[in-house]
Structure 1
Amino acid sequence: MKDTVRIGSYSAFWGDSISAAEQLVSLEGKNIDYLVADYLAEVTMGLLARHRKSPSGPKKPSRAGPGGYVSDFITFVWKRLIEDIVANGIKVVTNAGGLDPIALKEAIEAVAKDCGVEGVVVAAVTGDDLHERSKEMQAKGELLPFNYITGNKDEVDVYPGEEKKKLSLNAYLGAVPIAKALDAGATIVVTGRVVDSALVLGPLLHEFKWDVTKDWDQMAGASLAGHLIECGCHTTGGNFTDWELSANSPHGGWSNMGFPIAECKPNGDCIITKPAETGGLVTVATVAEQLVYEVLDPGAYILPDVIIDLRDVKLSQVGPDRVFVTGAKGRPPTPYLKCSGIYVDGYKITADLWIGGIDARRKALAVGEAVIKRGRKNIERFGLEDFTAVRVEALGAESTYGAHSTALDAREVCCRITAVHPEKQGLLLLGVELAPSATGNAPGITGGGAGRPHPSPNMTHYSILAPKTAVPAMLTIGTGDKQTQTTIPFAGPNHAKNEYPPAIAAAPLPDNNSEETVLVPLIRIAYARSGDKGDTANIGVIARDPKFYPYINQQLTAESVKEYMAHLAQGKVARYEFPGIQALNFVLTRSLGGGGLSSLNLDRQGKSYGQMLLSYKVRVPKGLLSNL
């Protein structure tokens, strides 16, 4: 057994830097044991599903492979780096298989054969694709409602009705099939939809031989390591609140961002770092921001293989660009898997008009309203029903800030008009009214964005649960006569409940209440990071110093955040504590206009919500700010 397993992550999403894998392979070489890559997101699965359902199918030019895999892996990684990967003995684990891991497996093997490279053993993990089985599973009662806030019975995702055109349904599989593939001798493992952290937990199960029925703390720590590096540069200074430190960092800053490496130990602890002489930075703050990213309840971070309690995780700087991570606790998982589905709900269109001059914002809103009214008259003439939804925004005037905007007098804005209609024709009758605005509406209209817009399917995401017993994984490994297929049922408990540990008491205020206080924006004393889960957003807020945490904890409540974000948060707001890193996490349901695929909002994935909340004013003792 190795004392340390080093895992480098080169992709956070489909479309990440094409130089990332080369960076890790060329700079680290034999120092890297595994190269992992996350290509899939809720949005990505929808795009792959749409490609799979396209009438032109694989004949249509696309970066997706014929069956719906991510062909960027072949083009930008495997074909370019095959010899170095094999020569350095690096194993690769990726979910680039998308909707067809078998096809990607065959493509990888074909490249190896063409290059004359031997010793490549490719395994494919399948079983996550429930699309063809979904109707039967629904009839059996195997598809259950999903809840983003446990106990919230008012807001749940359910299986769409029969009238909806379903494109995909994929279960989030766990890490055991990946470990089994590596145990069987695979040097490359490709999967479909698995939880992001499984790409790291799988190799560590293989290397450290943990017992998946009882080594909960070790699996929790490994899953946390996977969570910290699965978003690539998110943990090495990308998307960081103190962005100038990252942008102006040595070795090229943002132009040469370093991708993360997790140095993992048999007890589940890890060190997060990056290659030397690359840009960005790895600090307690950058790692803490990724720790809170897209987490719901930190006391119950539910994964297929383990439930993690993140609340007592500790981060410490142990060297330049080296952060030690410890303290994750695990407990048995639930008997269910989260599943991600996509269906089509009509069509969507987005139109842009650039408008300049005095009163640009007011002009943009008036123009947008007029275009919508003219579009409605057109669809009435043709006997079509009304738009399902419409939205007009003045981009450049802080439209996402609602009543908190400080740019109402902006003199250059983009009038953004978005609409949904059951039929393409209804949106075409709206799009034709865009150009006439230049001569018949406000002064200062300078252009129409990318021209007359075209409708596209309004893909909508939903989440549901399925029992693990109904979703076994399938492992395919080898080629020709030596190819084998093995069914891998979930090995852990099937009846464990999500029993919550005791709640944590609020941090008390220090005994300096008589000291003069000042009102400051939250960014003076905190960092923040936000992300999305369907139509739910999370905002993690981390104290810059432990001395600020009691004041943040006292003033930043679920109620105050709900009030501040009321123009966006249409559902409930729940607050959770991360006392180990002096942080709070807020979960906002119904806050993204439907989610990343179907939302009409400018920010469809809540990426700006954390930065928005950092403008919130908090009161702190004046003396605590003396060193800032």
Structure 2
Amino acid sequence: MVYELGWNWDEFHLLAQGSLAGHLLECGCQLTGGYFMHPGDKYRDICLSDLLDLSLPFAEVTSDGKVCVAKANGSGGVLNFSTCAEQLLYEVGDPSAYITPDVIIDFRDVSFKSLSDNKVLCAGAKPSVPPVPDKFLMLASKDLGWKGWGEISYGGYECVKRAKAAEFLVRSWMEEIYPGVNKHITSYIIGLDSLKAISSDKSSSFPEDIRLRVDGLFEQEEQAIQFTKEFTALYTNGPAGGGGISTGHKKEIILEKGLVGREHVHWHVAAQQNEVMQSDDQTTGLSDLTQTHAENASVSPSFQMNTTTNSCTKYSLPAVEASPAPSGQKIPLYNVAHSRAGDKGNDAHLSIIPHFLPDVERLKMIITPQWVKEVVSDLLIPSSLPNPDEIERTKKWVDEHVTLEIYEVRGIHSLNVVIRNILDGGVNSSRRIDRHGKTLSDLLLCQQVVLPP
């Protein structure tokens, strides 16, 4: 944009608007309805057929910094206030100081206005103070040990008890060989508690099949290998009816962050033209490809999805369609807001965007650091069958190491929640099934809340 539109590197208001366009486009179809559809939520219940025809978004940027994001006319998906708001807050941390190499941006007063079903006007990005970072981010790899993991399935009567018995046995076998090693192991039962996405006061139904997952992050490779052997022993020495065992181990590394002074970073741009290879027969292979495709189509069964259970909703701005959420009664947060979660290192970032925008004032009274910490603290319990001491140690660790920041974003009447040190080390080293913490949005949204009047 600096080159095409004739901007200068010190025109920070223009750079802020240009960076807003880039940030909104960064995740592709997430802006046009991808990763947004949610059956049962009348504001997000997109037709399944529409998801088959998502359009990549594009931006129209003028020389004076006016920004519109758009999608192809007639394409599926949806581009509106809600999709733009989710993408605006995606992994930004403090919205008053979103750091990029060229400009630090203040997103707090960004607003969105739908010009049509396929185009949204985006305004309000401005430079922070100071407008330019004096340090750049540097990432360095570091050995973190060896990962070992195992999975096994149980089904039918008392399947959960058998999975918990299997976990107990694997932990005990490992402890016999490597005393104290259990502090490196975490476990969860897929289908029961692997994501913790259940309200604290909502009872779960009896599961018909579950899958135990146990992960260890060890200091030595031999410990990881031994772990996989002990887990495989469940086939002969474990509870009845376990099947589908899979195990593995690998070397783990993490990326540690550091800062480098701007004056020590030098860059240049270069272009080189390569010789283009041309075939003597430029049509070679096209007829064969067409014939092969036709043959495959004749022998492959057609796939049709039943979309009758998925209703279609015509989208417009939530402020137009929505009404205030009821007060004085327990309702799931799903009924009040929508959310998207992202990650930066060991930190989780979650947006809270009310369906009825003025409800943000009441949400601010509910979504407090202490409330969020209580909701997410169970994620760090290392076992599906914790004893009271483990629970107490986890609560203490959470109190000492997990910190919360909640930011209000005025322009879109929303909240941005940053949870530090909650992702078990981050995506490269986490022992959880959801390494990125993507499902934390549903963990918050399924909580029962009572809104004040």
TM over 0.5: yes
Distance 2:327 2:145 in 1: 57
Change (3 A) 1:259 1:479: closer
1:224 aligns with 2:20: yes
Among 499, 504, 517, the alignment partner of 2:328 is 517
Cα deviation code 1:303-351 (max 9, x no counterpart) = 1111111111101111012211101111311210112232221110221
Cα deviation code 1:393-419 (max 9, x no counterpart) = 101003321883743732311100111
Distance 1:568 1:210 in 2: 47
Residue type of the alignment partner of 1:461: L
1:470 aligns with 2:264: yes
Q: Which residue does 1:584 correspond to in 2?
A: 415
Change (3 A) 1:266 1:619: farther
Distance 1:454 1:544 in 2: 44
Question: Are the counterparts in 2 of residues 526 and 542 from structure 1 also a CA contact under 8 Å?
Answer: yes
Q: Which residue does 1:395 correspond to in 2?
A: 190
Residue type of the alignment partner of 2:77: G
Deviation at 1:434, TM superposition (A): 2.2
Distance 1:517 1:386 in 2: 48
Residue type of the alignment partner of 2:367: L
Residue type of the alignment partner of 2:372: V
Residue identity over aligned pairs, in percent, reads 27
Change (3 A) 1:461 1:362: farther
Residue type of the alignment partner of 1:618: V
Distance 1:306 1:363 in 2: 55
Q: Which residue does 2:286 correspond to in 1?
A: none
Question: Are the counterparts in 2 of residues 461 and 598 from structure 1 also a CA contact under 8 Å?
Answer: no
Residue type of the alignment partner of 2:157: I
Question: Are the counterparts in 1 of residues 143 and 252 from structure 2 also a CA contact under 8 Å?
Answer: yes
1:375 aligns with 2:174: yes
Among 562, 570, 574, the alignment partner of 2:405 is 574
User: Which runs of structure 2 are paired with 1:74-473 in the superposition (5 Å)?
Assistant: 204-213=1-10, 215-240=11-36, 242=38, 248-249=46-47, 252-331=49-128, 332-379=131-178, 386=181, 389-401=184-196, 404=200, 406-407=203-204, 409-448=206-245, 451=246, 453-473=247-267
Q: Which residue does 2:308 correspond to in 1?
A: none
Aligned residues: 378
Distance 1:577 1:516 in 2: 22
Q: Which residue does 2:356 correspond to in 1?
A: 545
Residue type of the alignment partner of 2:138: C
Q: Which residue does 2:446 correspond to in 1?
A: 615
Change (3 A) 1:621 1:375: closer
Helix, strand or coil for the counterpart of 1:433? helix
Deviation at 1:519, TM superposition (A): 2.2
Question: Are the counterparts in 1 of residues 38 and 45 from structure 2 also a CA contact under 8 Å?
Answer: no
Cα deviation code 1:256-304 (max 9, x no counterpart) = 3221111222233322222234331111111111111111000111111
Change (3 A) 1:360 1:280: same
Residue type of the alignment partner of 2:204: A
Deviation at 1:560, TM superposition (A): 1.4
Question: Are the counterparts in 2 of residues 349 and 455 from structure 1 also a CA contact under 8 Å?
Answer: yes
Worse-matched range after superposition: 414-423 or 357-366: 357-366
Question: Are the counterparts in 2 of residues 551 and 619 from structure 1 also a CA contact under 8 Å?
Answer: no
Distance 2:66 2:173 in 1: 61
Worse-matched range after superposition: 544-553 or 394-403: 394-403
Helix, strand or coil for the counterpart of 1:399? coil
Distance 1:540 1:320 in 2: 24
Change (3 A) 1:294 1:338: same
Distance 1:283 1:560 in 2: 30
Cα deviation code 1:89-148 (max 9, x no counterpart) = xxxxxxxxxxxxxxxxxxxxxxxxxxxxxxxxxxxxxxxxxxxxxxxxxxxxxxxxxxxx
* TM-score between the two structures when normalised by the length of structure 1: 0.57
Question: Are the counterparts in 2 of residues 528 and 539 from structure 1 also a CA contact under 8 Å?
Answer: yes
Unpaired stretches in structure 2, ≥5 consecutive residues: 275-323, 381-397
Helix, strand or coil for the counterpart of 2:343? strand
Deviation at 1:454, TM superposition (A): 2.9
Change (3 A) 1:248 1:523: closer
Distance 1:298 1:236 in 2: 22
Change (3 A) 1:249 1:400: closer
Cα deviation code 1:348-390 (max 9, x no counterpart) = 022110111233233222212211221333457xxxx846711
Change (3 A) 1:406 1:605: farther
Question: Are the counterparts in 2 of residues 246 and 280 from structure 1 also a CA contact under 8 Å?
Answer: no
Residue type of the alignment partner of 1:547: P
Helix, strand or coil for the counterpart of 1:220? helix
Deviation at 1:619, TM superposition (A): 2.5
Distance 1:321 1:518 in 2: 38
Question: Are the counterparts in 2 of residues 356 and 446 from structure 1 also a CA contact under 8 Å?
Answer: no
Residue type of the alignment partner of 1:230: E
Distance 1:208 1:291 in 2: 23
Deviation at 1:460, TM superposition (A): 1.4
Deviation at 1:471, TM superposition (A): 1.6
Helix, strand or coil for the counterpart of 2:24? helix
1:528 aligns with 2:339: yes
* TM-score between the two structures when normalised by the length of structure 2: 0.78
Change (3 A) 1:462 1:359: farther
Cα deviation code 1:37-91 (max 9, x no counterpart) = xxxxxxxxxxxxxxxxxxxxxxxxxxxxxxxxxxxxxxxxxxxxxxxxxxxxxxx
Residue type of the alignment partner of 2:19: S
Question: Are the counterparts in 2 of residues 361 and 411 from structure 1 also a CA contact under 8 Å?
Answer: no
Helix, strand or coil for the counterpart of 2:451? strand
Question: Are the counterparts in 2 of residues 402 and 567 from structure 1 also a CA contact under 8 Å?
Answer: no
Distance 1:529 1:290 in 2: 8
Q: Which residue does 1:116 correspond to in 2?
A: none
Q: Which has the higher contact order (CA 8 A, sep 6+)?
A: 2
Helix, strand or coil for the counterpart of 1:567? helix
Change (3 A) 1:597 1:516: closer
Q: Which residue does 1:17 correspond to in 2?
A: none
Change (3 A) 1:242 1:325: farther
Helix, strand or coil for the counterpart of 2:210? strand
Residue type of the alignment partner of 1:462: E
Distance 2:161 2:350 in 1: 31
Change (3 A) 1:268 1:340: farther
Residue type of the alignment partner of 2:338: Y
Question: Are the counterparts in 2 of residues 388 and 422 from structure 1 also a CA contact under 8 Å?
Answer: no
Residue type of the alignment partner of 1:376: E
Distance 2:213 2:334 in 1: 29
Q: Which residue does 2:437 correspond to in 1?
A: 606
